[in-house]
Amino acid sequence: MEQMKVLREETVEPAGHFAAEIHKNQVLRIVDLEGQQVADLVTVSAANLAEKLSVMNTINLNKQVFPRVGYVLYSDEARAMMTIVSDTCGVHDMLAGACSSFTNEKRYGVKNSRNCRDNLAAALKPWGVAWKDVPFNMNVFMNCPVGADGNWSIQAPKSKAGDYIDFRAEMDVIAAFSNCPQIYNACNAFRLKPLKAVIYEYSAY
């Protein structure tokens, strides 16, 4: 028999961020504590900080735009970094990228807003990853439907309080996420909420 052994558990405040080194076969769980809150997630190889999540490789190697159980996050060297092994929500996004002060100014006319690109850079700073080297990301719990004609929009998340998604590490990775501070569109249903990060592994007993 195997038992879930929690190694770390942390509430991530609204607009906050999280990062941790996760060893191969350990699992990162992101919990949407109140529902309708997005996490922008990136992965970097712990052994080689130059090898990072590639959204494009991930979409074309999975032949699927929408992440789901069994979906693999691939690096820019087309190696498996993490696999989604559980998911109680079912609606996530690979296309939206991360909000930045630049896109917030372009789209909404606001300057110096809190944003996911800065959050991810802050989360990865302890490993020496520069702002420009932060890869683009998966959007956990984000709801961006694609229409038959290719039209694309940001809608309120489908996630409910307590929904979670589990990512199993396929290599030693640094996983970082931003608790998205976006308030200018429906991405977080116009209210910022906490998330929870849990790292666990299975141990025999």
Tell me the closest approach of the beta carbon of residue 40 to Zn ion, in angstroms: 5
Q: Which CB, 42 or 180, lies closer to Zn ion?
A: 180
Encode the chain in three state secondary structure: CEEEEEEEEEEECCCCEEEEEECCCCEEEEEECCCCCCEEEEEEECCCCCCEECHHHHHHHHCCCCCCCCCEEEECCCCEEEEEEEECCCCCECCCCCCCHHHHHHHHCCCCCCCHHHHHHHHHHHHCCCHHHCCCCEEECCECCECCCCCECCECCCCCCCEEEEEEECCCEEEEEEECCCCCCHHHCCCCCCEEEEEEEEEEC
Any contact of residue 96 with Zn ion (CB under 5 A)? no
Any contact of residue 173 with Zn ion (CB under 5 A)? no
Q: Which CB, 142 or 171, lies closer to Zn ion?
A: 142
Any contact of residue 116 with Zn ion (CB under 5 A)? yes
Q: Which CB, 44 or 116, lies closer to Zn ion?
A: 116
- Count residues near Zn ion (CB under 5 A): 4
Q: Which CB, 55 or 116, lies closer to Zn ion?
A: 116
Q: Which CB, 90 or 97, lies closer to Zn ion?
A: 97
Any contact of residue 197 with Zn ion (CB under 5 A)? no
Name the maximum alpha-carbon separation found in the chain: 56
Any contact of residue 180 with Zn ion (CB under 5 A)? yes
Any contact of residue 39 with Zn ion (CB under 5 A)? no
Q: Which CB, 82 or 142, lies closer to Zn ion?
A: 142
The token pair at 2 is 């195997």
**CA-CA distance, 33 to 12, in Å (whole number)?**
10
The token pair at 152 is 């694309």
Any contact of residue 182 with Zn ion (CB under 5 A)? yes
The token pair at 155 is 């809608």
Any contact of residue 144 with Zn ion (CB under 5 A)? no
Tell me the closest approach of the beta carbon of residue 116 to Zn ion, in angstroms: 3
Tell me the closest approach of the beta carbon of residue 103 to Zn ion, in angstroms: 9
Please check whether residue 62 is in contact with residue 72, taking contact to mean a CB–CB distance below 8 angstroms: yes
Any contact of residue 99 with Zn ion (CB under 5 A)? yes
Binding site for Zn ion (CB under 5 A): 99, 116, 180, 182
